[in-house]
Amino acid sequence: MVAKYLWELGSLIMLGLGSIHLFYTFFTNKFKSRNEVVMSEMKKSHFILTKETTFWKAWIGFNASHASGALFIGILNCYLAFRHFQFLTANDFLPLFSIATIIFYAWLAKTFWFRIPLFGILLTLICYLASFILILMT
């Protein structure tokens, strides 16, 4: 039962991180640059790859798609943990894939982001790893 609660908690943390990130992307100025010149240049600068978008539009799109990825991980794992925990534990693939994904997110957070998302992602990782170890022990 503890394994189930740990997986649920880790999933809720990811769901929360993804929700906050999506909200910040579209409804706040949190992901805008403090430097107006940088923002202005991003809004009129195009990629070498294509002129169909600007760096600013890509920035918003990358943040939104990143948030949807975190939401997907959180929602899928919440659903499985709350409704079908036996299915989640019947095969190692989904738990290990989720753990591997969270490890990748932790590396991204440590390498490219900042302390708050790293902390939340590490909490998720701890919950998932502890849950998986408990599952293996039963």
pTM higher than the cut 0.85: yes
Average pLDDT along the chain, 138 residues, taken 10 residues at a time: 96 97 96 92 92 93 95 96 92 94 96 94 98 93
Q: CA-to-CA distance for 88 and 121, rounded, in angstroms?
A: 20
Whether 59 contacts 45, CB under 8 Å: no
Domain count, the chain: 1
Q: CA-to-CA distance for 83 and 120, rounded, in angstroms?
A: 24
Q: CA-to-CA distance for 74 and 62, rounded, in angstroms?
A: 18
For 34, the 3-state DSSP assignment is coil
Q: CA-to-CA distance for 94 and 36, rounded, in angstroms?
A: 44
Give ∠ CA 43-106-135 in degrees, rounded to 5.
Answer: 140
Task: Tell me the per-residue pLDDT of 70-100, one tens digit each, with 9 for 90 and over.
Answer: 999 999 999 999 999 999 889 899 999 999 9
Burial class (CB in 10 A: 0-12, 13-18, 19+), 115: exposed
Domain span at 22: 2-137
